[in-house]
Structure 1
Amino acid sequence: LATGYRERPLDALLGGLDPYLRRDASQRPRIDDQYRLVLDPTVTGHVYVQNAERHTHGVGAPDLGLAA
């Protein structure tokens, strides 16, 4: 793209959560319908994501204007 934007994997950023992170069949982080990472049930907190859920919520997910 002319903007220079490129999608980067989240693995380096989420490295500390890796033992608790649930992944899909393509090894991408699973995202629930509340835009949270799906973690091991022993984890009591939540990690919300923005612009990391296109593979589960579609191309319109990061563009709040499309939902309006």
Structure 2
Amino acid sequence: MTSEWWIKNVPRDYIAYWNLNNKTIKDTSATAIAALSLLKLSYWEFAKNTIESLVENYLINSKIPRALTNVCYF
């Protein structure tokens, strides 16, 4: 299952690299989408840890909700 692959292969900080290639930048947009999918599939703990990592490390400004750094969408 794709969700199990994600959990086994995402870096320890829960934030994926762009194109899942560790020689590139982190991709918070893909990671946020994955976190939502994990919530829908009931992977509560992993999704919670992912969201916490996004908020603690990549939130641009707590006064501007939903604004993350390292977004990769081309």
User: Considering the TM-score relative to the shorter chain, is it more than 0.5?
Assistant: no
Greater Rg, structure 1 or structure 2? 1
Structure number with higher helix proportion: 2
Higher RCO, Cα 8 Å, sep 6+: 2
TM-score by length of 1: 0.29
